């Protein structure tokens, strides 16, 4: 996760020998040349590192370059099958029969695109880079997650049975989570099954504190399981 700090500066002033220090025109020419290098050489490469090379600060153009390198589509569509039946009534006569109940789902029959913010794209591509170029051991994964989310943001637990559990305490969006999951970007060794616990995700249901069976959590939770 360390990026070296290359020195892109070019110093042409040593070309001005001490014998010619009093040559005003030559000195002006050398100084103008130095100013050109500072603007069009040094600044260009420093901007390239910031906007393209460094995944923590890359702009939209740099992220599109990394999408090509890591083979991650820049516009990401969900993996919802187009043949999945929509939950609801039957569309053919007789109308309003219960043909599709218990046979469909809440997902539309088209594949919407996941819209990630620039910062979320940076995170997804950092996951892809780490997933591709490391051995994905638990200590390495947790060091990477600490680097991305800080302390107590997200961490991985070894199930000791060819399984891993990601505890997600950071407030990440559903779109980012779905991209990381659907494109298998969560780092893991080969053949290891993943489970997830989202600590910030309230389960759909009743209130767990007295008074019991009130409707406190309705419309505030979700249909996602804890793992």
Does pLDDT of 120 surpass 70? yes
Distance of alpha carbon 153 from alpha carbon 29, whole angstroms: 55
Cβ atoms of residues 217 and 206 within 8 Å: yes
To which H or E segment does residue 156 belong? strand 154-158
Q: In what order do the strands lie in the sheet with 154-158?
A: 154-158, 163-168, 193-198
Q: Read off the pTM.
A: 0.65
pLDDT in tens, 125-156: 999 999 988 889 999 999 999 999 988 889 99
Distance from the Cα of residue 134 to its chain's centroid:
17
Does pLDDT of 162 surpass 70? yes
Tokens of 179: 């991209």
pLDDT in tens, 6-56: 777 777 777 777 666 777 788 888 888 888 888 888 888 889 989 999 999
CA angle 48, 73, 3 (to 5 degrees): 35
Helix axes 118-133, 174-182, angle to 10 degrees: 20
């Amino acid at each position: 996760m360390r990026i070296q700090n290359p020195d892109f500066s070019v110093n042409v002033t040593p070309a001005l020998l001490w014998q010619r220090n009093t040559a005003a025109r030559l000195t002006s020419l050398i100084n103008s040349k130095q100013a050109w290098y500072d603007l069009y050489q040094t600044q260009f490469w420093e901007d390239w590192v910031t906007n393209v090379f460094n995944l923590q600060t890359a702009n939209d153009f740099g992220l599109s370059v990394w999408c090509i390198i890591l083979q991650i589509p820049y516009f990401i569509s969900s993996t919802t099958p187009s043949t999945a039946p929509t939950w609801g009534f039957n569309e053919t006569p007789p109308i309003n029969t219960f043909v599709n109940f218990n046979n469909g789902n809440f997902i539309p029959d088209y594949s919407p695109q996941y819209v990630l913010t620039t910062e979320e794209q940076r995170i997804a591509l950092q996951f892809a880079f780490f997933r591709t170029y490391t051995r994905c051991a638990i200590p390495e994964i947790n060091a990477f997650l600490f680097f991305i989310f800080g302390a107590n943001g997200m961490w991985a637990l070894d199930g000791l049975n060819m399984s891993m559990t990601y505890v997600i305490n950071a407030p990440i969006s559903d779109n980012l989570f779905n991209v990381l999951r659907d494109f298998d970007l969560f780092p893991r060794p080969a053949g290891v099954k993943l489970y997830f616990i989202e600590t910030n995700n309230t389960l759909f249901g009743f209130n767990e504190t007295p008074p019991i069976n009130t409707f406190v959590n309705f419309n505030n939770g979700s249909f996602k399981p804890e793992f």
